[in-house]
Amino acid sequence: MAKAPNGGTETKDEPDGGPPSPGGGPLGQAARALGMRTDGTIFFVSAGLMIVFLALVLLLPEPINDIFSAGRDWIVTNLGWFFILGVTTWLVFLAWVALSRYGNLRLGGDDSRPAYGNLSWFAMLFAGGIGTVLMFWGVAEPISHFANPPRAGVDPHSVQASQEAMNFSLYHLSLHTWAIFTLPGLAFGFFIYRYNLPLRVSSVFYPFLKYRIHGPIGKTIDIFAVLGTLFGLAVSLGLGTSQIAAGLEVLTPLPDDVTTRVLVISVLTAVAVGSIVAGLDKGVKRLSNINILMAIGLMIFVLLTGGELVFLLRQVFESLGRYLESIVGLSLWNDAMAGYTKDGGWGWQGGWTVFYWAWTVTWAPFMGVFLARISKGRTIRQFVGGVLLAPSAFTLVWFAIFGWSAMRIDGIGGDGGELTREVVDDKQVPLAMFEFFSNFPATTLIQGIAVVVVALFFATSSDSASLVVDMLCSGDEEAGPVRQRVFWGVSEGALAASLIVLGGDKALQALEQVITVIGLPIFVLAFLMVFCLLKGLRQERPAVYALQVKEMQRHLKQAEADSLAEEPAAGSADDTDTKS
């Protein structure tokens, strides 16, 4: 039967009369014949395109590298401003939605309530706020901007350079990054749980496509989303692998080369696949909790043993103030005067800001599903406020402790030290964290713990990512057959390994090139989600007004009850005095 936006119903009827059968056609029949529970078209086309890419990388590495290099240069030069303006627009839009009358709408039926308490929910957001990204860039990014200031007229290693380095680091990895995750998370939660649509990216475009989300247009959107997610995860795994290999070179005789990195990817992918096969969901969750505690332990260790406790605590608050003071300018700065003031221009922003936004947006479907699933029943205002602010607050503390400690060690006001040589001069970014820990007690132990933390993030991320990619193909919240998830787990590892091989000694540069090109179509899709949400919210006006009427009635009833409670009882002293 036809079904409008439910505004509170929990039925499983399809909107707009229901879709055509998503599992039809030869590919759907093939999926059923293999005992799979997925959309055959999305699964096989996504897998086929990924396999074609892997084959091309192995057979034609140099031409493929040249194609992605040229594509990245064109995008950075001509569309870098679009990435910067886009993410800032999303952040403003999310703030408006949260503060508007739509903020009281729930991700689900109007009577639904959160499945998790605030403490558990914030803990899960906290878990999402740290990972290989903060481990990789916590020291490397502040030192990079400290030694090589992004803006002209700032002297390297100066006080101003240190302050700007912290501002840029927070700009890249706090509110703006989480806006990229919050937008699709909100869109997923709104359309999937209020409209009862499949758990796919195409469902977000229901206001414009209607039942065509189940047709060729919708499947094309989902295929792009699956491929973008796979490449985004591959880049993250590649960065984590680079850092693990760098740590192993410090701690063992193993050299940090392509062979070691591929070996690391292979071993950790095997661990992730093993957990998928064994069904160790509870074990993985416990492992994730241990991992988070170890990361927090590292942060506390740096805070207490670096000899700068008071300085770092002061910097937590001062860095927040400077970041808030500069956020508007940073949000719109795209180095338009680069040709008049210095060389580089988009070369710097292409390697940092544009790379970050292109990479992060490929994680958007993965993180969007995660955020929507743990937030069902919450209001839009609760969702946006919690997802934007909780992880950003942790990122602030992480960078204030690691970043300022690193810059103090390297010498504020001096000429730079060993960290500058490793990160900037020798471009050994993965070594930054390990060189940093060499300045602390129990160096070898702490460096070993850091390797374990990154490795655990790798394994648990690969496992959970396999589940999410499988969901994006099936459109179902329930986990598919184990062999489907195993396929995606192996694929993620193979894709990351191929990118490492493609880049060789310049693997990080290759990762930046590939993700910038792959990220563009995903970025466009995410931008269109703003308009889908606007239309969906406007269609919810009756529900908004109903909520306002309910709230007004509740206040009137409460006021009436308070008034009755305050009236003196019949025959009271006050009443007698009045009559007399």
Which CATH number belongs to the domain containing residue 140 in this structure?
A: 1.20.1740
Q: Which residue has the tokens 């627009």?
A: 89
Taking each helix axis as running N to C, give the angle between helix 309-332 and helix 380-410, from 0 to 180 degrees, rounded to the nearest 10: 120
Does the structure show a pLDDT above 90 at 402? yes
Residue 375 in domain:
yes
Cβ atoms of 83 and 358 closer than 8 Å: yes
Q: What is the pLDDT of residue 528?
A: 94
Which residue range is the domain that position 67 belongs to?
Answer: 42-534
Per-residue pLDDT band at 20 (split at 50, 70, 90): very low
Does the structure show a pLDDT above 90 at 276? no
Q: What is the pLDDT of residue 550?
A: 57
Does the structure show a pLDDT above 80 at 362? yes
Amino acid identity for residue 227 in this structure = L
The pLDDT tens digits for 479-496 are 778 888 889 889 888 888
Q: What is the pLDDT of residue 424?
A: 80
Residue 463 in domain:
yes
Residue 36 in domain:
no
* 35 vs 170: which has the higher pLDDT: 170
Q: Which two tokens stand for residue 9?
A: 């119903």
Q: Which residues contact 44 (CB under 8 A, 6 or more apart)?
A: 27, 30, 31
Cβ atoms of 480 and 36 closer than 8 Å: yes
Question: Of 323, 319, 307, whose CA–CA distance to 408 is shortest?
Answer: 307
Counting the structural domains of the chain, the total is 1
Asked which of 349-358, 384-393, 494-503, 562-571 is least confident by mean pLDDT, the reply is: 562-571
Per-residue pLDDT band at 357 (split at 50, 70, 90): very high
500-508 average pLDDT score: 68
Question: Of 463, 392, 466, 406, whose CA–CA distance to 440 is shortest?
Answer: 406
Per-residue pLDDT band at 292 (split at 50, 70, 90): confident
Q: What is the pLDDT of residue 58?
A: 76
The pLDDT tens digits for 220-239 are 999 999 998 888 888 888 87
Residue 563 in domain:
no
Does the structure show a pLDDT above 60 at 296? yes
Per-residue pLDDT band at 271 (split at 50, 70, 90): confident
Cβ atoms of 172 and 87 closer than 8 Å: no
Q: Which two tokens stand for residue 30?
A: 């093939």
Question: Of 173, 151, 175, 174, whose CA–CA distance to 163 is shortest?
Answer: 151
Residue 547 in domain:
no
Residue 454 in domain:
yes
Does the structure show a pLDDT above 90 at 406? yes
Residues in the chain: 580
Residue 578 in domain:
no
**Mean pLDDT, all residues of the chain:** 82
Residue 7 in domain:
no
* 83 vs 129: which has the higher pLDDT: 83
Q: What is the pLDDT of residue 179?
A: 95
Q: What is the pLDDT of residue 407?
A: 94
